[in-house]
Amino acid sequence: MRPAGAKVTQQAEARRGIRAIPRRALLTYRTRHVLWAFAFLAPAFVLFFFIVVYPLGWALALSLQDWSFFGAKRFIGLGNYVRLWNDPLFWKSLGISFKWTIGVVPAILMISLPLALFLNAGWLRLKSLYRTGYFVPVVTNIVAVAFVWRWMFDPDFGVINWFLGVLGLPKPGWLADPAWALYAMMVVGVWKQIGQAMVLFLAGLQTIPQEFVDAAKIDGASPWKLFWKITLPLLNPTLLFVVVILVINAFRVFTIPYVMSAGGLQARTPGGPLDSTRVFVLHIYDIGFRQFQLGYASANAFVLMALIIVVTLIQIKLIQRPFEY
Amino acid sequence: MDLPEYRWLKTLTYLLLTLGLVPMLLPFLWMVSSAFKTLPEVMQVPPTWFPKQPILENFVAVFTQFPFARYILNSVAVAAIVVFGVTIVSAMAGYAFSKFTFPGRDVLFIAMLASLMVPFQVRMIPLYLMSIKFRLVDTIAGLSFPWLFDAFGIFLMRQFMQTIPTELIEAARIDGASELRIFWTILLPLVKPALAALGIFTLVGNWEEFLWPLIVTTSDASRTIPVGLQRFSEQYMSNIHWQMAAATVAVTPLIIAFLLFQRQFIQGIALTGLKD
Amino acid sequence: MRWTRVLAVVVASVVAITVVSLGSVMVGAQPKVTIVHWQHFHEGRATALKALIPAFQGETGIAVVTDLPPYEQYFDKLLAALAAGTGPDVFQVPMEMAEQLINGGYLAPVPESVATTAEIEGRYLRWTTARFKRGGKYYGLPTDVQHLVLYINNDLAREAGLDPTKPPKTWDELIAQARKATKRDAQGNIIQAGLDTRYKWAVYTALLYQFIEGPVIDAVAKRATYDSPQGIAAWKVVEQLLRGPNAVDSPRFMPGQRKFELKRAVFYINHPVARSVIARIGPDIKYTIATVPAIKGKRPIAPGHHWAYVVNARSKNQEAAWRWVKYLASERAVRTWMRVAGDLPSITELLPAEPDPVVRESVKLVRPVDYVGVCDPIRNDLFDAIALTTRPVEDLVREAVQKENTCVQQALR
């Protein structure tokens, strides 16, 4: 692409020469071209530096220091990383985040993929109605719906336990019970993201050439076979992309556990009861902005970054086309 | 999925799709219905599906007990700045990356893209310390600035602009159009769909951003809807009827926008994939 | 064409915002002194504060802007702001944070013009100022003075066959009566609590300061002592209250709801300030206030706690800030705190104005708490762990004490 671009530029220069526009002193066309490029790039570059590069370097420096915001900073090398390795709460919260990921991601896939397949079918009517219905949670403020779900999960007055009671089932304490709280929140996580995955799958399904499907149908393939032999293999890149997005979202989940566990109805510290919903970002937030151990919090945040890099690299490796989402 | 000769399967599909809608929409139904109930009715067991006598007092309480209008205004301000900033900055950078050649272009592009792998949580502590230093704590500017750079937006814009024939731009240059003019009158109109997708995607993400406002706001002067809502719920913890009214107020604007511009919303999400 | 519409909406809102914010800047550009005031949110006290601000503003022309974060967020926000140097001019701190903030140099000493040392010592209950004294100077004026009392819902008590005029004198009696008053459904879920334990702090504090004779938090040794046999005994009472089939309440029952105010609990331990909340939420509840139960054969002890209004050492409006604090702790304001919020007076002379004889008399039973630093969440979690797990209380207490030691050491650094 670069040679092509350069060639066009040369041609343009040549044409300019022909038109004999007076040469601006010192500034050749080529220089002006580059300067304009930098001008267009300048805002992005400045922001990139101040919002990403500089904070990243600062965070790295912080992660090597012992600093509680109030006292003096002390360089401790990898001390924070050693500390987190030995911190049971680090492992516990990492475990909770993995549990969240393992529960939420497959659940979303298993609901949204069939959903997209059905919504993509030619014979289905009321398509846009269904699509809208399943998509609405995506554009709904998560804090607001977290309240609503919290209230629906209320053990004594909630509609869910009322329903369980009608069916004669035991009523769990949900958010008040360390054994159930995380599952209740995972329901909300799934609910919120189904629409997003569905839309991505629908977009992916639209890229599948109709000829393949038609050919398979002429061969008399059953819908079941069609799905496994044609649709799924061709949908693989989309599937992978969706999985990566969902996994990264799952690693970074914060708002749902925070809102559903903190204050409000529960009058508790976020991540409760008894740290049973202390997902990893909540752990980082707690260390950084409640205990003010900014160095240690930064070290924890770098673990999160490492996890995200690993997932992204796996994706790149599998797709073999860097960054082409 | 095509099911020509499986009529019962079609019926089953409709049944499942419709049943599936129930849990998807129940929270909204529950929220709106509770928002019009009195507290005793909200706490009633067995619950009532529709308020016996709908009341508006809860909404009055939301706006009088709390500067909710202010929160909405703050949210709109932050969203406007971020959406506008991200689309313009991304479009400009995308233009530079796709239609210009300059030394270090590809390296810089890859570097910016790699920042997608740097989660906000790594940067939030330095960003907070920067906000303190530059007195951005508890200001609209402080709420907005971390989001103004979006590597994904630049990537998207570059992809889109690469599909625009370079000859078009060259022709304009020969006609003596300035670079700014080319960008503004030729390029931007051609990438409108991508701009809109990016704008909507940014809006949806920014509208419910919670972690950063939680850290950087300290007064109602800058609180956005999500943190304002959270504070409301923590203060009036047992006033469920008010909470439901507040939640209704908070979700309505974006849902209306969504219903009006459905196609754009869905394209926006499909193009980009929601981040957080 | 739709894109144009989207763009139009965006542009219109940007313009609107600019106009509105410019407008508000211009409106707000008065030369008046404005001080920023923070305290944690409490329904009763917020109402009292709302009444005090216009009165003060009218007298002095000083504007007061308040922010009332919920209790759970208050310390995070406050400490972050102080460390960042962006804190409010005036704020409220609990007694257990006194040392930490004075050591850190965050608080300004009370100027002689506001109150001399002798005046402060003569006016206020001694224990409500003691921890804010350092080097002959005071660093705050007391507010939110409170001690623990026992509330009894008369009707529910009678319904359970109890006599509210004969409140439980000892913990054993309280446990027995609360068990009698607890109701369960067919599945064994609690539907009426004997004792509302939502305010965990009140329950375990009432126990710890009666069971442990020496310090609960040893500020000299910088460690917690509640893993001593006396401390374990106190936590064992919590176990009796919350574990097993005879529990009198559960964190799973009406989580976060005000069980007592909603007539779903018979007994309740809280401060006198809870009266204002009961009056608002359950105005028809007939209740009795009694002293907290004691250990058999011992004099009852009512753990006392207070907050203080302090001025940020970095405030640019020191003078105006102190005028406001002085006003908040003045006789007139204290009467408002008493009347509207239901608080105890910090001014000794006003004590007779307290209408409830039990509340008034039990001031004599006060033992001020000696907690240090923002470490309450550790004990709250211990309380929850006793209720929600089956692990031995001794183990749970030992783990909590370790955490509390670290917390105390950090605060006293």
Residues of A in contact with C70 (CB under 8 A): 263
Would the CATH topology of C32-145+305-357 be identical to that of C149-303+370-411? Answer: yes
CA atoms of B68 and B229, how far apart (whole Å): 8
Give the per-residue pLDDT at C24: 52
CA distance B195 to chain C (A): 9
pLDDT band per the 50, 70, 90 thresholds, residue C45: confident
A289/C80 Cβ within 8 A: yes
Is residue A121 domain-shared with residue A52, that is, in the same domain? no
CA distance B116 to chain A (A): 9
What are the tens digits of pLDDT across the range A132-169? 999 999 989 999 999 899 989 988 888 899 999 899 88
Give the per-residue pLDDT at C238: 96
Tell whether C79 lies on the interface with A, counting CB pairs under 8 A: yes
Q: List the single best residue of B41, B49, B101 to mutate versus A (max A Cβ within 10 A).
A: B101
pLDDT band per the 50, 70, 90 thresholds, residue A268: low
Give the per-residue pLDDT at B274: 41
Closest Cα partner for B226 from B204, B194, B193, B241? B204
Residue A21 pLDDT exceeds 70: no
CA distance B64 to chain A (A): 19
What are the tens digits of pLDDT across the range A234-266? 888 888 889 988 999 999 999 999 989 876 544
Give the per-residue pLDDT at A52: 95
Q: Which chains touch B (3 or more CB pairs under 8 A)?
A: A, C
pLDDT band per the 50, 70, 90 thresholds, residue A22: low
Is residue A93 domain-shared with residue A199, that is, in the same domain? yes
Is residue A44 domain-shared with residue A93, that is, in the same domain? no
Confirm whether B192 is domain-assigned. yes
| Residue among A177, A263, A289 whose CB faces C252 most closely | A177
Is residue A57 domain-shared with residue A128, that is, in the same domain? no
Confirm whether B167 is domain-assigned. yes
Q: Could you tell me which residue, C26 or A290, shows the higher pLDDT?
A: A290
CA atoms of A110 and B23, how far apart (whole Å): 16
Residue A281 pLDDT exceeds 90: yes
What are the tens digits of pLDDT across the range B31-54? 999 999 988 888 887 788 888 888
Within 8 A by CB and 6+ apart from B63, the residues are B69
C389/A262 Cβ within 8 A: no
Confirm whether B118 is domain-assigned. yes
Give the per-residue pLDDT at C206: 95
A258/B250 Cβ within 8 A: no
Question: Are the C-beta atoms of C389 and C232 separated by less than 8 Å?
Answer: no
CA atoms of C323 and C195, how far apart (whole Å): 43
Residue C14: exposure state from Cβ atoms within 10 A (0-12, 13-18, ≥19): middle
pLDDT band per the 50, 70, 90 thresholds, residue C19: low
Report how many domains make up chain B.
Answer: 1
User: Closest chain A residue to B41 measured between Cα atoms?
Assistant: A157
Give the per-residue pLDDT at C231: 95
The CA dihedral of A120, A121, A127, A130, to the nearest 10 degrees, is: -70
> Is the bond preceding residue C167 a cis peptide, omega within 30 degrees?
no
A123/B258 Cβ within 8 A: no
Give the per-residue pLDDT at A7: 46
Give the per-residue pLDDT at A320: 56
Tell whether C84 lies on the interface with B, counting CB pairs under 8 A: yes
pLDDT band per the 50, 70, 90 thresholds, residue A110: very high
Residues of A in contact with B173 (CB under 8 A): 12
Residue A203 belongs to domain with CATH number: 1.10.3720.10
User: Closest chain B residue to A41 measured between Cα atoms?
Assistant: B93
Q: List the single best residue of C103, C252, C262 to mutate versus A (max A Cβ within 10 A).
A: C252
| Residue among B90, B102, B230 whose CB faces A259 most closely | B230
CA distance A320 to chain C (A): 35
CA distance C19 to chain B (A): 11
B102/A34 Cβ within 8 A: yes
CA atoms of A198 and C38, how far apart (whole Å): 46
CA atoms of B146 and B155, how far apart (whole Å): 18
Report how many domains make up chain A.
Answer: 2
Q: List the single best residue of A51, A157, A260, A279 to mutate versus B (max B Cβ within 10 A).
A: A51
Give the per-residue pLDDT at A192: 94
Residues of B in contact with C258 (CB under 8 A): 238
Sign of the CA dihedral A170, A176, A177, A183? Answer: positive
CA distance C304 to chain B (A): 24
Give the per-residue pLDDT at A203: 87
What are the tens digits of pLDDT across the range B91-112? 999 999 998 989 899 999 999 9
Residue type, A83: R
C3/B196 Cβ within 8 A: yes
The helix (run of H) or strand (run of E) holding residue B248 is helix B240-260
Instruction: Please report, for residues A165, C156, C189, C203, C250, the alpha-carbon distance to residue C192 in angstroms, rounded to integers and kept in the order given.
Output: 18, 10, 9, 18, 10
Tell whether C313 lies on the interface with A, counting CB pairs under 8 A: no
Is residue A175 domain-shared with residue A38, that is, in the same domain? no
Residues of B in contact with C73 (CB under 8 A): 231, 234
Within 8 A by CB and 6+ apart from C180, the residues are C160, C161, C162, C194
Confirm whether B12 is domain-assigned. no
Is residue A152 domain-shared with residue A31, that is, in the same domain? no
C104/A265 Cβ within 8 A: no
CA distance B196 to chain A (A): 16
Closest Cα partner for B198 from B72, B91, B61? B91
Confirm whether B56 is domain-assigned. no
C70/A263 Cβ within 8 A: yes
| Residue among B43, B218, B264 whose CB faces C67 most closely | B218
How many CB pairs below 8 Å do chains A and C form together?
75
Percent of chain B with pLDDT over 90: 46
Give the per-residue pLDDT at A325: 35
Residue B156 pLDDT exceeds 70: yes
Confirm whether B93 is domain-assigned. yes
What are the boundaries of each domain within chain C? 32-145+305-357, 149-303+370-411
- Per residue, what are the HEC states of A48-88? HHHHHHHHHHHHHHHHCEECCCCCCCEECCCHHHHHHHCCH
Tell whether C189 lies on the interface with B, counting CB pairs under 8 A: no
pLDDT band per the 50, 70, 90 thresholds, residue A232: confident
CA atoms of A300 and A283, how far apart (whole Å): 8
Is residue A152 domain-shared with residue A287, that is, in the same domain? yes
Interface subset of A 173-192, CB within 8 angstroms of C: 173, 175-178
Least confident of A24-38, A202-216, C339-353, C361-375: A24-38
The neighbour count for residue C161, using CB atoms within 10 Å, is 9
| Residue among C20, C36, C262 whose CB faces B73 most closely | C20
Tell whether C255 lies on the interface with A, counting CB pairs under 8 A: yes
CA atoms of A111 and A232, how far apart (whole Å): 15
Residue B124 belongs to domain with CATH number: 1.10.3720.10
Give the per-residue pLDDT at C18: 57
Confirm whether A69 is domain-assigned. no
The CATH number given to C149-303+370-411 is 3.40.190.10
Tell whether A170 lies on the interface with C, counting CB pairs under 8 A: yes
Average pLDDT, chain A: 85
A176/C252 Cβ within 8 A: yes
- Residue that the structure tokens 């799924």 belong to: A232
What are the tens digits of pLDDT across the range C70-108? 887 888 889 888 888 888 999 999 999 999 999 889 999
- Predicted model pTM: 0.89
The neighbour count for residue B25, using CB atoms within 10 Å, is 14
B231/C73 Cβ within 8 A: yes
- Per residue, what are the HEC states of chain C? CHHHHHHHHHHHHHHHHHHHHHHHHHHCCCCCCEEEEECCCCHHHHHHHHHHHHHHHHHHCCEEEEECCCHHHHHHHHHHHHHHCCCCCEEEEEHHHHHHHHHCCCECCCCCCCCCHHHHHHHECHHHCHHHEECCEECCEEEEEEECEEEEEHHHHHHCCCCCCCCCCEHHHHHHHHHHHCEECCCCCEEEEEEECCCHHHHHHHHHHHHCCCCCEECCCCEECCCCHHHHHHHHHHHHHHCCCCCCCCCCCCCCCCCCCCCCEEEEEECCCHHHHHHHHCCCCCEEEEECCECCCCCCCEEEEEEEEEEECCCCCHHHHHHHHHHHCCHHHHHHHHHHHCCECCEHHHHHHCCCHHHHHHHHHEEECCCCCCCHHHHHHHHHHHHHCCCCHHHHHHHHHHHHHHHHHHHCC
Residue B202: which domain range?
61-272
Q: Could you tell me which residue, A204 or A53, shows the higher pLDDT?
A: A53
Confirm whether A70 is domain-assigned. no
Cα angle for residues C286, C290, C293 (degrees, 5° grid): 135
Is residue A241 domain-shared with residue A198, that is, in the same domain? yes
Residue type, C46: A
Is residue A270 domain-shared with residue A208, that is, in the same domain? yes
Q: List the single best residue of C4, C10, C264, C314 to mutate versus B (max B Cβ within 10 A).
A: C10
| Residue among C189, C255, C384 whose CB faces A274 most closely | C384
Interface subset of B 102-161, CB within 8 angstroms of C: 132, 137-138, 140
Confirm whether A295 is domain-assigned. yes
> Quick one: average pLDDT of C234-253?
93
Question: Are the C-beta atoms of C193 and C259 separated by less than 8 Å?
Answer: yes
What are the tens digits of pLDDT across the range B112-143? 999 988 999 999 999 999 999 999 999 999 99
Residue A54: which domain range?
2-63
Residues of A in contact with B43 (CB under 8 A): 157
CA atoms of A196 and A112, how far apart (whole Å): 9
Give the per-residue pLDDT at A271: 85
Q: In CATH, what class is C32-145+305-357?
A: alpha beta
Residues of A in contact with C76 (CB under 8 A): 289-290
- List phi, psi (to 5°) of C225: -110, 5
Residue A1 pLDDT exceeds 60: no
3-class DSSP state of B164: coil
Tell whether C180 lies on the interface with B, counting CB pairs under 8 A: no
Give the per-residue pLDDT at A17: 45
Q: Find how far residue C262's CA is from the centre of its chain.
A: 21
CA atoms of A30 and A308, how far apart (whole Å): 40
CA atoms of C194 and C203, how far apart (whole Å): 13
Confirm whether B235 is domain-assigned. yes
B231/C70 Cβ within 8 A: yes
What are the tens digits of pLDDT across the range B205-217? 899 899 999 999 9
Residues of C in contact with A290 (CB under 8 A): 76
Ordered DSSP codes for A9-56: HHHHHHHHHHHTPPPPSS--HHHHHHHHHHHHHHHHHHHIIIIIIHHH
3-class DSSP state of B175: coil
What are the tens digits of pLDDT across the range C157-176? 999 999 999 999 999 999 99
What are the tens digits of pLDDT across the range C365-378? 999 999 998 899 89
